[in-house]
């Protein structure tokens, strides 16, 4: 632009020397515009200024905007440090399984951001879905990919009875708490006196409503009050685990450092923290990619359910997602309205007003957090995609899926734009915001 201005000035001034020919002027202009002198910065290093709308979106995604953790009215000990310590012990204890080899940490490995790095989780058997992270899930009203539980404690005990996961029974776990002096003391300090489960004629070694044929028969032969006593101890185990899991939160990522600098007015420092490619990816994330439609807020998830036309898992039965999970949570004895919840009915807002019908429910799955997404492959509810590039390609093409109403349309990003978007997603990796002692088995 400077050269163009000089060209105009020479033609407009009345004092320009007559000896300067038009040809020479043109030559000077062409040379100036095609100079080999290196530019001080690449054009992509100086993008257009962030708009107010973009800055507002960045602030909403910044971890500094995460509100205080809300209370869980269904769990009276959710924030009791003693319960967290008990839950920490149970989380890593393989005795809470049928074969003595499976714990919660088998599928939720701290070093893998509390996932297991497998398409389908493997414990006593192989499950039909992958293990989602538990990091930050205390903020969510729904649990599992299909939302079939509405509290962390109800989620925590569900795998314990699943024959493919822990595979144990309710009386097995009650006996373990009852007969281990340390567990019994910790339990009673938190929940009060524990029922004496020593009489095997009333409380068989292995009895539960979801066990094998013998365990189910033993459970059905028990008195109703004895069943309730066992189930109360069982759910309290889950409430202790939930108290521990409420401590597991994401920490600051490079994106958050960028956002803080930018929001404080230090754009120069912000541009050092994120590269031009990563900033371009952020713009795509908030704009053309329309990613914030579902991945919004400081945890990069709406906690809602969407059908994005995913392919079915290889050699797996058709998975109907939210529509079956909804039916299960409504019928569960462990939901917020149930007898083992500590909440008053009016405190169960999510369950009271949950949407129970609609074309968007079949084939819909919970929106996962994108924090540390680069560290939690493979992706989706059955590990359908091995790499982030595969995920982005799916959104880019939006192919037809096996079931339900498709909520995505092709966004047709260029290959370079997909690379930029992936580069941004990798800026969401950061350490967990939790004392390291909680990430290893207690001594």
Contact 173, 180 (CB under 8 A): no
Q: What architecture does CATH give domain 48-68+250-321+362-434?
A: Orthogonal Bundle (1.10)
Whether 81-245 and 48-68+250-321+362-434 are alike in CATH topology: the answer is yes
| pLDDT in 10s for each residue of the chain, 443 residues | 433 333 333 333 333 434 333 333 333 333 333 334 333 333 344 567 999 999 999 999 999 999 999 999 999 999 999 999 999 999 999 999 999 999 999 999 999 999 999 999 999 999 999 999 999 999 999 999 999 999 999 999 999 999 999 999 999 999 999 999 999 999 999 999 999 999 999 999 999 999 899 999 999 999 999 999 999 999 999 999 999 999 999 999 999 999 999 999 999 999 999 999 999 999 999 999 999 999 999 999 999 999 999 999 889 999 999 999 999 999 999 999 999 999 999 999 999 999 999 999 999 999 999 999 999 999 999 999 999 999 999 999 999 889 988 899 999 999 999 999 999 999 999 999 999 999 999 98
CATH 1.10.760.10 assigned to 81-245: yes
Both tokens of 221, joined, read 């032969």
Nearest by Cα to 246 from 64, 70, 67: 70
CA distance 337 to 328: 13
For the chain, give every domain's residue range.
2-36, 48-68+250-321+362-434, 81-245
Both tokens of 259, joined, read 């956002």
CA distance 263 to 50: 11
pLDDT at 405: 86
Q: What is the pTM of this model?
A: 0.89
CA distance 398 to 411: 8
Contact 86, 99 (CB under 8 A): no
CA distance 185 to 439: 23
CA distance 333 to 146: 17
Both tokens of 96, joined, read 């809470």
pLDDT at 47: 63
DSSP state of 305: E
pLDDT at 46: 53
Both tokens of 225, joined, read 């009050």
């Amino acid at each position: 632009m400077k050269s163009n201005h000089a060209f105009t000035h020479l033609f407009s001034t009345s004092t320009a020397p007559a000896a300067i020919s038009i040809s020479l002027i043109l030559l000077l202009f062409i040379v100036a515009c095609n100079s080999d002198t290196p530019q001080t910065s690449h054009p992509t290093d100086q993008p257009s200024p962030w708009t107010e709308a973009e800055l507002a979106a960045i602030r909403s995604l910044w971890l500094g905007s995460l509100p205080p953790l809300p209370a869980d009215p269904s769990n009276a000990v959710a924030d009791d440090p003693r319960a967290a310590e008990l839950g920490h012990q149970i989380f890593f204890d393989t005795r809470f399984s049928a074969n003595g080899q499976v714990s919660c940490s088998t599928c939720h490995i701290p070093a893998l951001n509390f996932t297991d790095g497998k398409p389908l989780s493997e414990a006593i058997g192989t499950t039909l879905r992958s293990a989602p992270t538990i990091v930050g899930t205390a903020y969510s009203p729904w649990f599992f990919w299909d939302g079939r539980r509405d509290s962390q404690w109800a989620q925590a005990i569900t795998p314990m009875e699943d024959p493919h996961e822990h595979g144990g029974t309710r009386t097995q776990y009650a006996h373990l708490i009852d007969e281990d002096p340390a567990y019994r003391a910790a339990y009673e300090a938190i929940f009060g006196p524990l029922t004496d489960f020593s009489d095997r004629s009333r409380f068989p070694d292995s009895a539960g409503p979801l066990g094998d044929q013998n365990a189910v028969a033993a459970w059905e032969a028990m008195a109703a009050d004895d069943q309730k006593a066992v189930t109360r101890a069982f759910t309290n185990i889950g409430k202790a685990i939930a108290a521990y899991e409420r401590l597991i939160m994401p920490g600051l990522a490079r994106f958050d450092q960028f956002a803080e600098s930018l929001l404080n007015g230090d754009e120069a420092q912000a541009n050092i923290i994120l590269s031009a490619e990563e900033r371009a990816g952020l713009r795509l994330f908030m704009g053309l990619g329309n990613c914030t439609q579902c991945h919004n807020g400081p945890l990069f998830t709406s906690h809602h359910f969407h059908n994005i036309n995913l392919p079915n898992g290889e050699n797996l039965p058709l998975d109907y997602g939210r529509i079956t999970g909804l039916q299960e949570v409504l019928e569960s004895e462990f939901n917020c309205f149930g007898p083992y919840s500590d909440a008053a009915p009016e405190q169960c807002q999510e369950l009271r007003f949950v949407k129970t019908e609609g074309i968007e429910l079949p084939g819909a799955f919970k929106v996962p957090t994108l924090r540390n997404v680069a560290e939690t492959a493979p992706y989706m509810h059955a590990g359908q995609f091995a790499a982030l590039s595969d995920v982005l390609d799916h959104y880019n093409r939006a192919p037809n899926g096996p079931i339900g109403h498709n909520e995505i349309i092709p966004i047709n990003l260029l290959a370079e734009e997909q690379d930029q978007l992936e580069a941004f997603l990798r800026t969401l990796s950061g350490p967990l915001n939790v004392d390291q002692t909680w990430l290893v088995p207690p001594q």
